Amino acid sequence: MKLYSVLLCVAMLALCSCNSEGRKGELTELEKQGKTVFRFSNAQEPATLDLSKATGVYENRIINLMFEGLIRYGDKGEYSELGVAEKYETKDEQKTYVFTLRKNIKWSDGTSVTAHDFVAAYQRILNPNTGAEYAYMLYDIINAQEINEGKEKDLSALAAKAIDDHTLELRLKQPVPYFIDLLTHYTFYPVPKHVVEKYGSKWTEVENIVGNGAFVLKKRVMGSQMIFEKNEHYWEKDRVKLDRIVAFTTENQETQLRMFRSGMTDWLSSPVPKSAYPTIKQESEWMAPPYLGTYFFCFNTSKKPFDDVRVRKALSIAIDRKIIAENVAMGGQLPAFNYVPKGTFNYESPHKLDESIEEAKKLLAEAGYPDGKGFPEFTILYNTSEDHQKICIIIQNMWQTRLGIPVKIENNEWKTYIDRMHSMNYDVIRRGWIADYNDAYNFMELFMKDGGNNNTGWWNAEHDNLVLATKQETDVKKREVLFQKAEKILLDNMPLIPIYFYVADQMIKPYVRGFYPRNTGNHGQEDIKAGRYNIADNHPITRVWIDMEAKKKYLGIGEK
């Protein structure tokens, strides 16, 4: 099948019309009573609400409604604003951090949050029995890695100590330049020790879960919606202007767009259906600011023929990334010819991958598969999504027609997909990485031997040593060179295929306030150009509010 025919078929996958349903509407019953409600599409059902086991963007967004750490994001998504911590100081050449907790921090059941809850959270996530994928993020703390790997059996050996109820001390193995930014990640949040001890694995059930964040989970309908209400015990409750948040968890993009256009949601947090782009791009509610993430495929290098670097390189250079970015992704994404995205703090990649069908054929022949002959059939695994499906179809076609190799595609629901990824039950898998914090280390550690999210079977000692060296290097330029050398090793060995760099493709109603970039009628360009575009796409929804007069005007309420 010709490539343009495949593109046409991909475009026709969208079965529903995306015409606007207009702006006339009514307020909800709660809004008529003077309450404010913010509704958004989360795009996926969270696989878990357990902070020690969560790994995805969809879990992150929900967890941050219910929990807060020592350090949090500011109003515009910037780092390093004090959260649960009232203040902190460093000692021992920045290898020791002492945090003083606010005295008025409580769990949503009224119980005080203490430094012991933080220690319990860290010990729990590092306990090998927990199986936490993000445990490695705590490895900078003395004895953290030893505990997680089972070399140290005593959890109390962890250098995270509650000096008293309101003082937490963390001792690190070496200074970490980005440590404060790291604390914005939910792996460093506290867990309600008393609730976990009482309910065990069921502590995250709706009737049991308590948090220390601005909102409390009140109702959950799997595959449909989650309802949150304002936490009356939140230390900054007077600053929270929303009474209720509704997160819809439907995965269908057409449904998400219809919900937004019909007024059921105020924020469409995930990309719109590609069939809608011709009209959507003209609408002021759509915006696509830069996003600190890379879309890529990974190989299971423990399986033949993907244990051969020549095969991996051949499949990489046979892909036309520009076609995918412009004709499939379509939201302003840039083709990725390296791994670490532009916009990463203090890092610029000098690398550029090649694209050549002839060179790809040559590499396959050298690997023993001339013109694709004898190449075993394999499957590309992706999580259920129209976008991922379209991209997989295009790449499947490129590999089949350009290299003559047999390729199948398979989709799984999110939880099954995650389980298969972590158990390495796949051949080639669709993946992506959105930065947990803005530093090249967060991208490069993904493919280290001890990286909790390295599910490729590949690792390289020189690569790992270079990345580890960046944790001790304080000179910005020297640190950048170390990262550049490590990225070159990664790209030379090709356990992954970078496809494109993300944008935060989304839609937001004009009456939503406290959201950046703001909908000012020009696709958020005013804030984007001024650098207020939130490159990590971390929107502190706790500071969002609804301008009810603007909403009434938008809905045409009161107009004759």
Average pLDDT, the chain: 90
Check if the beta carbon of residue 110 is closer than 8 Å to that of residue 233: yes
Answer whether residue 362 shows pLDDT above 60. yes
pLDDT at 557: 87
Q: 492: how many CB neighbours lie within 10 A of its CB?
A: 12
pLDDT digits (tens, 9 = 90+) for 416-443: 999 999 999 999 999 999 888 889 999 9
Check if the beta carbon of residue 314 is closer than 8 Å to that of residue 300: no
Measured in whole angstroms, how far is the alpha carbon of residue 100 from the centre of its chain? 29
pLDDT at 20: 37
pLDDT digits (tens, 9 = 90+) for 438-494: 899 999 999 999 777 899 999 999 999 999 999 888 899 999 999 999 999 999 999
Check if the beta carbon of residue 446 is closer than 8 Å to that of residue 294: no
Tell me the pLDDT band of 343, cut-offs 50, 70 and 90.
confident
pLDDT at 534: 61
**85-91: strand order across its sheet:** 85-91, 96-101, 167-171, 160-164
Answer whether residue 523 shows pLDDT above 70. no
Using CA atoms, how far apart are residues 369 and 372, in angstroms rounded to an integer? 5
Of 532, 275, 283, 309, nearest to 387 by C-alpha is 275
pLDDT at 280: 86
- Packing angle of the helix pair 386-403, 357-366 (nearest 10 deg): 70
Using CA atoms, how far apart are residues 476 and 333, in angstroms rounded to an integer? 28
Q: Is the peptide bond before 517 cis (omega within 30 degrees of 0)?
A: yes
Using CA atoms, how far apart are residues 39 and 512, in angstroms rounded to an integer? 11
Residue ranges covered by each domain of the chain: 63-201, 290-503
Average the pLDDT over 60-81 and give the result.
85
Average the pLDDT over 104-129 and give the result.
98
What whole-number percentage of the chain has pLDDT above 70? 90
Answer whether residue 263 shows pLDDT above 50. yes
pLDDT at 283: 84
329 or 208, which is more confident: 208
Using CA atoms, how far apart are residues 216 and 228, in angstroms rounded to an integer? 5
pLDDT at 540: 77
| 237 φψ region: left (φ > 0), alpha (ψ -120 to 50), beta (else) | alpha
User: What CA–CA distances, in Å, run from 456 to 309, 428, 435, 448?
Assistant: 13, 9, 19, 10
- Alpha-carbon torsion 67, 70, 74, 80, what sign? negative
Using CA atoms, how far apart are residues 41 and 304, in angstroms rounded to an integer? 40
pLDDT at 533: 57
Answer whether residue 268 shows pLDDT above 80. yes
462 or 286, which is more confident: 462
Using CA atoms, how far apart are residues 194 and 122, in angstroms rounded to an integer? 15
Using CA atoms, how far apart are residues 419 and 294, in angstroms rounded to an integer? 21
Using CA atoms, how far apart are residues 171 and 409, in angstroms rounded to an integer? 47
Average the pLDDT over 176-195 and give the result.
94
Answer whether residue 345 shows pLDDT above 90. no
Contacts of residue 30, Cβ cutoff 8 Å, sequence gap at least 6: 37, 243, 244
pLDDT at 11: 41
pLDDT at 529: 58
Using CA atoms, how far apart are residues 338 and 49, in angstroms rounded to an integer? 33
63-201 adopts what CATH topology?
Answer: Dipeptide-binding Protein; domain 1 (3.90.76)
Using CA atoms, how far apart are residues 201 and 353, in angstroms rounded to an integer? 45
Check if the beta carbon of residue 231 is closer than 8 Å to that of residue 242: no
pLDDT digits (tens, 9 = 90+) for 150-183: 999 999 999 999 999 999 999 999 999 889 989 9
Tell me the pLDDT band of 203, cut-offs 50, 70 and 90.
very high
What beta strand segments (E) does 129-232 contain? 160-164, 167-171, 215-221, 225-230
Q: Is 300 helix (H, G, I), strand (E, B) or coil?
A: coil
Q: Is 294 helix (H, G, I), strand (E, B) or coil?
A: strand
Measured in whole angstroms, how far is the alpha carbon of residue 104 from the centre of its chain? 31
pLDDT digits (tens, 9 = 90+) for 5-54: 444 344 434 333 333 334 456 788 889 899 999 999 998 899 999 999 99
Using CA atoms, how far apart are residues 522 and 473, in angstroms rounded to an integer? 42
Token code pair at residue 401 = 């027609």
Check if the beta carbon of residue 51 is closer than 8 Å to that of residue 121: yes
Question: Which of 208-246 are b and which e, b meaning 16 or more Cβ less than 10 Å from the residue's Cβ?
Answer: bbbbbbbbbbeebeeeebbbbbbbebbbeeeebebbbbb
Residue by residue, what is the 3-state secondary structure of 482-539?
Answer: HHHHHHHHHHHHCCEEEEEEEECCEEECCCEECCCCCCCCCCCHHHHHCCCCCCCCCC
Which residues are registered as beta bridge partners of 100? Answer: 87, 167
Q: 197: how many CB neighbours lie within 10 A of its CB?
A: 10
List the CATH code of the domain at 290-503: 3.10.105.10
Using CA atoms, how far apart are residues 463 and 521, in angstroms rounded to an integer? 46
